Structure 1
Amino acid sequence: MTEITLYNTAIRAKEVLKPLDATNVRMYVCGPTVYDRAHIGNARPVIIFDVLFRLLRHVYGENAVTYVRNFTDVDDKINARAAESGRSIGDITAETTRWFLDDMGAVGALEPTQMPRATAYIPQMVAMIETLVADGFAYEKEGHVLFRVRKYEDYGKLSGRSVDDMIAGARVEVAPYKEDPMDFVMWKPSDAATPGWDSPWGRGRPGWHIECSAMAEDLLGSEFDIHGGGNDLTFPHHENEIAQSKCAGHGFANIWMHNEMLQVEGKKMSKSLGNFFTVRDLLNQGIPGEVIRFVFLSTHYRKPMDWTAQKAADAKAKLTRWFALVQDSSGDFPSPNLIKILADDLNTSMALGYVDALSRQIEKTGNGVSEFKWCLQVLGLLNLEIPAWANASEFDFTQWEAHFQVVRGAAMAAKDFGPVDALKAMFANAGVEVRMSKDGVELVAGPDFDASKLEGLT
């Protein structure tokens, strides 16, 4: 069986994945708070852990992997959106959940095994909080229940910080109901206008961190294999998850994986800079989901990623060339080389390099098409059919290639290549690459091919 090695943030090194149960490899990834469209930064962990999900299913079996990704559907941002829009919280969360699934499906992400909503697990959250209060790790004051951070000796181990350094370097909420500035809220009171549930501490709602601890424990057990998310969640979210779960008597996650952040054109994504994009924005601009996914996979998940228009254009051109090689071919030839690359800490950028080398081999020899198509499918770049946007590669250029060859022959005889240059410019304007050799002329449709610009040429 293939040995998978992953970088574990908890030990700051790569380690071999040794599943607790090879017949049920378990992974939890923090999902979205559903109050608006997912921005492109939200898509990075979805795509990264989708590739890991696919890899695990290949190595251990399709039915031997349980992947949980939650929806946070109780949150102050959702409450604020409901108040400003006049819509019900239920309507907003239902709509934005569907948006998220549609947009992530468009970039090739499989749906996880389980997609729990936080509001369906309130009893489990209350039960975990009760355990922590009973054991002295949490306390109630003024309708709030807070976790005693200093009671957990390993607090800060995941993020590599001491509690005192955290207080000095971070903004922490100072409140009269806190024993210590670092203590975090697990339960807070709700007024009549705010969603709330009955609890031993009065009507209220959960804090953010307790949600994932309770859902992970309920769906994956007291201990599981992998916990993932963006590195912006390392502190405080994941740090707090570990503290409350460990103190509640759970082993929790063995390997912690975090993807780096995303920039746009070399700058931090920000609405004020005008470089803030949702996934739907890009799709509506005509950028295919496969292209978005390719750009994301071209950078290793532990490195900062820069989304640029040029990268998108280059990705579209490459995918157009790749898809032209797999028309009407089977894809049932597994590639041990690709799996070996992905099994080394999910090296998707190297995987794309391997696939590109395969494409060059096919163009030269015609060999390897089945393996090539299988690789595209494993990376989530190709489903059952070639996407419609890439079908320009099927266009029959035979007539135009013959016309170009006549013009080229006449130019060589007259030693006047002006007509050839003019023809090349016309094809380039139509999005067609001209490849000339001693054997003739080959015309290849690019990602921006527009046949209408060549009407009346011959």
Structure 2
Amino acid sequence: MTLRFHDSATAATRDFTPLKDGQVSLYYCGATVQGEPHIGHVRSALAFDQLTRWLQVSGYDVTVVRNVTDIDDKILVKAEENTEPWWALAYRFEQAFEDAYDSLGILKPTYEPRATGHIPEMHELIATLIERGHAYPALDDSGDVYFDVRSWPQYGSLTHQNIDDMQAAPDADPRGKRDPRDFALWKGHKEGEPETAKWASPWGAGRPGWHLECSAMVTKYLGTEFDIHGGGLDLRFPHHENEMAQSQAAGHGFANFWMHNGMVTYEGEKMSKSIGNTINPREMLELARPLVVRYYLGQAHYRSVLDYRPGSLTEAAAAVERIETFLDAATPFLAPQEQHGRLRDLGALSSRSAIPAKFREAMDEDLNIPAALAVLHETVRAGNSAIAAGDGKAVAKAVAAVMGMTDALGINPLDPQWQQGSGSEAELGALDVLVRAQLEARAQARTEKNWAESDRIRDLLGAAGVEVADTANGATWSLKK
């Protein structure tokens, strides 16, 4: 097994070997919580959720860090516009992001640090950069501290740019800078800004610069060198370029791989509120089930542009329904202990052993999701052919493979995550016990030819949203879609 990922820093796809045997450390940029999440935010989180899941299927113990930027110029501006405390606005939108992530089955990170909780670590990093000659307090006594881009010859290496071709950093008044491209590590408190939005520092009261926040947080949780740094393509410059420069200038190895996901467009055009061609996760979830939205957002290669157009969710729904229809039709061919209430367990057990080699090859080669989905749907078609032929052994093999592949992608239709109102695994287990008791009573009634009682139990279950199917191996049940 050889995993290969595209590394933005080298602009090449290369073999992936973790720094620690059997363990992978992954950091990806989370939200700047200034407003509601948009599709780009969710697509990025989903891309790295897919990466995490595949690393886990591949046998790695994965530590995931996703930050929350809860202090930033944009947050202060939005809070002032809303006449709302900046910290209240930030927390409100942080919860909106969490709701969107949860709705789409995005795994919780191992750690999710907030910028405001890591000010001491940021001070320490700034002091190191000043000591090593790569940062300086502003020349205008504003309390700002800047990274000296000219002091670091490798600046621009992530995005393969020449420093003289770069635009000025717009994050602070250029009067205090040695070079207009120098970027802010610490921003001195300005008149009119909230008193709650400043922290004491050796350089004056103020708040951290955006780029500094991420470097300080990832170092705290993953160390000075880690495996993968991810984020949206729009973050490569200046954010990730600046992160890499300041961290390496401080003497850190930092990220071994840089992975960036592509953008989302609307009928081939960049989404823009001004021209009215935007759609957000909440709107998508009003148009389709969460499972369908996840399938749609995760179906393209993570590095490619994902183009939304009217009808996209309908197509995704059709693809999901083909998988669901196969699993429903396959249930009567399985042994009783493997039927609907047990299929979820079957998928978990088979995810490593039953996944087809072609699916593994696609995922191992830079997470080639389109090729992996092609294998999934090919297996569904083969399973349907086996059902038509009455080949129970081939059906069971196809079911195990489909369960393994959909588990790996986070789109298993039988996962409780996607069962509306179904609750937790424990709740489903309790429901299974109750339903099976009713089915046993119904079976006894049928043995006694008490058809009225049999129908009564079936109707009772149906009214509760439980579908009953009579098979050669006995009755099975499922929740109505």
Q: TM-score range by the shorter chain?
A: 0.7 to 0.9
DSSP-derived class of the 1:3 partner: coil
Matched residue, 2:331: none
Q: Which amino acid aligns with 2:6?
A: Y
DSSP-derived class of the 2:198 partner: coil
Q: Which amino acid aligns with 1:273?
A: I
Match of 1:108 among 99, 105, 109: 105
Task: Measure the CA separation in 2 of the matches of 1:386 and 1:324.
Answer: 18
Q: Which amino acid aligns with 1:84?
A: E
Deviations 1:117-138 (A, max 9, x none): 0111110001100111112110
- Does the aligned pair in 1 maintain the 2:171–2:184 contact within 8 Å? no
- Does the aligned pair in 2 maintain the 1:188–1:206 contact within 8 Å? yes
Q: Which amino acid aligns with 2:121?
A: Q
- Does the aligned pair in 2 maintain the 1:55–1:339 contact within 8 Å? no
Matched, 1:79 2:96: no
Matched residue, 1:135: 132
Matched, 1:378 2:408: yes
- Does the aligned pair in 2 maintain the 1:22–1:60 contact within 8 Å? no
Matched residue, 1:308: 309
What is the root-mean-square deviation of aligned Cα atoms in Å?
2.1
Q: Point out 4+ residue stretches in structure 1 off by more than 3 angstroms.
A: 170-174, 385-389
Match of 2:205 among 188, 203, 206: 203
- Does the aligned pair in 1 maintain the 2:72–2:210 contact within 8 Å? yes
Task: Measure the CA separation in 2 of the matches of 1:69 and 1:98.
Answer: 14
Q: Please report how far the alpha carbon of residue 22 of structure 1 lies from its aligned counterpart in structure 2 after TM superposition.
A: 2.1
- Does the aligned pair in 1 maintain the 2:172–2:184 contact within 8 Å? no
Matched residue, 2:221: 219
Task: Measure the CA separation in 1 of the matches of 2:171 and 2:111.
Answer: 33
Deviations 1:387-416 (A, max 9, x none): 457x9xxxxxxxxxxxxxxxxxxxxxxxxx
Task: Measure the CA separation in 2 of the matches of 1:48 and 1:153.
Answer: 32
Matched, 1:342 2:363: yes
Q: 1:32 to 1:172 in 2, by over 3 A?
A: closer
Task: Measure the CA separation in 1 of the matches of 2:166 and 2:87.
Answer: 36
- Does the aligned pair in 1 maintain the 2:356–2:401 contact within 8 Å? no
DSSP-derived class of the 1:233 partner: helix
* Larger mean Cα displacement after TM superposition, 82-91 or 247-256: 82-91
Matched residue, 2:374: 353
Q: Which amino acid aligns with 2:239?
A: H
Matched, 1:5 2:4: yes
Q: 1:322 to 1:181 in 2, by over 3 A?
A: same
Task: Measure the CA separation in 1 of the matches of 2:128 and 2:356.
Answer: 47
Correspondence list, 1:87-166, <5 A: 87-141=84-138, 142=141, 143-166=143-166
Matched residue, 1:453: none
DSSP-derived class of the 2:311 partner: helix
DSSP-derived class of the 1:22 partner: coil
DSSP-derived class of the 1:6 partner: strand
Matched residue, 1:51: 50
The answer for unaligned runs of 5 or more in structure 2 is 329-339, 388-394, 423-479
Deviations 1:34-54 (A, max 9, x none): 121110111111111101001
Match of 1:278 among 273, 277, 280: 280
Q: Please report how far the alpha carbon of residue 70 of structure 1 lies from its aligned counterpart in structure 2 after TM superposition.
A: 0.3
Q: Please report how far the alpha carbon of residue 86 of structure 1 lies from its aligned counterpart in structure 2 after TM superposition.
A: 2.1
Matched residue, 1:70: 67
Matched residue, 2:296: 295
Matched residue, 2:385: 364
Task: Measure the CA separation in 1 of the matches of 2:298 and 2:419.
Answer: 22
TM-score by length of 1: 0.81
Task: Measure the CA separation in 2 of the matches of 1:203 and 1:81.
Answer: 22
Task: Measure the CA separation in 1 of the matches of 2:170 and 2:185.
Answer: 18
Q: Which amino acid aligns with 2:310?
A: A
Q: Which amino acid aligns with 1:317?
A: A
Q: Please report how far the alpha carbon of residue 364 of structure 1 lies from its aligned counterpart in structure 2 after TM superposition.
A: 0.5
Deviations 1:155-178 (A, max 9, x none): 11110110001139x878661101
Matched residue, 2:450: none
Task: Measure the CA separation in 2 of the matches of 1:167 and 1:36.
Answer: 27
Task: Measure the CA separation in 2 of the matches of 1:281 and 1:386.
Answer: 20
Q: Which amino acid aligns with 1:271?
A: K
* Larger mean Cα displacement after TM superposition, 345-354 or 316-325: 316-325
Q: Which amino acid aligns with 1:180?
A: D
- Does the aligned pair in 2 maintain the 1:172–1:182 contact within 8 Å? no
Q: 1:201 to 1:172 in 2, by over 3 A?
A: closer
Match of 2:247 among 245, 254, 257: 245
* Larger mean Cα displacement after TM superposition, 186-195 or 113-122: 186-195
- Does the aligned pair in 2 maintain the 1:223–1:252 contact within 8 Å? yes
Matched residue, 2:27: 28
Matched residue, 2:429: none
* Larger mean Cα displacement after TM superposition, 185-194 or 134-143: 185-194
Q: Please report how far the alpha carbon of residue 262 of structure 1 lies from its aligned counterpart in structure 2 after TM superposition.
A: 1.1
Q: Give the number of equivalent residue pairs.
A: 388
Task: Measure the CA separation in 1 of the matches of 2:364 and 2:317.
Answer: 26
Q: Please report how far the alpha carbon of residue 111 of structure 1 lies from its aligned counterpart in structure 2 after TM superposition.
A: 0.9
Matched residue, 2:231: 229
Matched residue, 2:438: none
- Does the aligned pair in 1 maintain the 2:363–2:369 contact within 8 Å? yes
DSSP-derived class of the 1:271 partner: coil
- Does the aligned pair in 1 maintain the 2:34–2:75 contact within 8 Å? yes
Task: Measure the CA separation in 2 of the matches of 1:301 and 1:232.
Answer: 14
- Does the aligned pair in 2 maintain the 1:295–1:307 contact within 8 Å? no
Deviations 1:9-34 (A, max 9, x none): 11111111111102431011011101
- Does the aligned pair in 2 maintain the 1:196–1:205 contact within 8 Å? yes
Deviations 1:263-309 (A, max 9, x none): 012211010121112211211x2322222221222211111110122
- Does the aligned pair in 2 maintain the 1:265–1:306 contact within 8 Å? yes
TM-score by length of 2: 0.77
